[in-house]
Structure 1
């Protein structure tokens, strides 16, 4: 049993910091690095990528709507061409910084509202997928497009097939699920889970058994190659450490998918 453990990192801005990135990088196997549109700035991106490279943690570009004040959690109506360009811009920026440090971006994960919108909206999903495909096509050092991390139920999988872009399914240890297999919106009570022991138990069940309990008690089948824990929640480091320890104790090997 092998599972990736990913977390959203580099989500400060200027003098403001969110979470303890270096502590989380000692726990996770993949780092979703904010690209500057919902959080992050050039210095934070560089420091986060450098710390990931030092620890052998795989770097992913966490692309987003251009929404600093809303932390990328507000849906934005955009022309697909504009969204395509925004995703391409963010991916190129983080990959360029990572390569200057001896690393590289190995996958792409949309953030927040863009993540949820792309799961159900074909036009927004296609803008993200096409940007990833175009980035690979323009660079000789990318033999194939980067994989996109998304929910198992996401339309991104279907869209990506047409572009020959690989996809990887993930599950969320610290988020509640609807009976349909989507994430409960953050505005609803109970959408985010904070008890480390509860989150760790869910992570083990998803990784080992492929099952998670939805908010109404429904048992959902979850086939995922990566488990996400968030870096911006209170006590995020202890939560991630508890999850990692539980996975190790259950005989689940934590290793990057990319």
Structure 2
């Protein structure tokens, strides 16, 4: 049997001005891919530059993390946009982060939408198409991270982009494959042991138990942890240990292609 490998990604660079968010420096050594906020939902120029430099120092793959233009709501409130707007806001934010990556002598590897934009792209084929088109137009070699089996993955594949099916260690799933809405108390898994068991199960192809009690098959090319979640560092260290203990290799998404 071929060895199982999985990428571990984290949403980082989400501080803004005087407001500190997450534990970027502490978490970075435990992940392989960093999704860096691009200034719309979080992040600012200084934070973007610092996070790019931090990722490069640790050999972590750099990705743009574009979101809806909603600082007050942290990009987690749905907005009514069309495919053209999805294309333009994605293009703009990738370009912003790309300037910092290029100026530091690095290379961008992937793009992963944030929050409400991510969930919209998972279900809405037109929004997904707009995002995927923006990624393709900037660089067809970039990889697009999206919810496993979602419209965003399908849009990427239609355009010939490399796609990474993403699974979540610390989020509950619905029976239809979507993530449990955050307004529900059970949406986020706060127990590190439970989150690690869920991640290992998905990485091994065993699926995940949904909020409704059904078992859902989830392809896990990359597993996400959230840098803004309380106990994120505990998650990161425990997840890495759990995957390694289960004999699952940890490597950049697409590194074996």
TM-score bracket relative to the smaller structure: over 0.9
Partner of 2:191: 195
2:131 alignment partner, SS class = helix
Which consecutive segments of 4 or more residues in structure 1 shift more than 4 A?
none
Partner of 2:153: 157
Q: Choose which of 96, 100, 106 in structure 2 pairs with 1:103.
A: 106
Partner of 2:65: 62
**Alignment map for 1:206-217 (pairs within 5 Å):** 206-217=202-213
2:204 alignment partner, SS class = helix
Partner of 2:223: 227
Partner of 1:139: none
Q: How many angstroms does 1:80 deviate by?
A: 2.5
2:137 alignment partner, SS class = helix
Q: CA RMSD in A?
A: 1.2
Question: Structure 2: how far apart are the matches of 1:163 and 1:209?
Answer: 27
Q: Choose which of 25, 34, 38 in structure 1 pairs with 2:41.
A: 38
Which structure 2 residue ranges, 5 or more long, are not aligned? none
Count of matched residue pairs: 251
Q: Choose which of 75, 81, 89 in structure 1 pairs with 2:78.
A: 75
Question: Structure 2: how far apart are the matches of 1:195 and 1:20?
Answer: 18
> Are the equivalent residues in 2 in contact too, given 1:153–1:182 (CA < 8 A)?
no
Question: Structure 1: how far apart are the matches of 2:157 and 2:11?
Answer: 26
Q: TM-score, normalised by structure 2?
A: 0.94
Question: Structure 1: how far apart are the matches of 2:70 and 2:253?
Answer: 29
Q: How many angstroms does 1:221 deviate by?
A: 1.1
Partner of 2:237: 241
> Are the equivalent residues in 2 in contact too, given 1:135–1:145 (CA < 8 A)?
no
Question: Structure 2: how far apart are the matches of 1:214 and 1:60?
Answer: 29
Deviations 1:75-101 (Å, cap 9, x if unpaired)? Answer: 111233232111101001112201221
1:170 alignment partner, SS class = strand
Question: Structure 2: how far apart are the matches of 1:103 and 1:64?
Answer: 22
Question: Structure 2: how far apart are the matches of 1:163 and 1:246?
Answer: 35
Partner of 1:140: none
> Are the equivalent residues in 2 in contact too, given 1:211–1:220 (CA < 8 A)?
yes
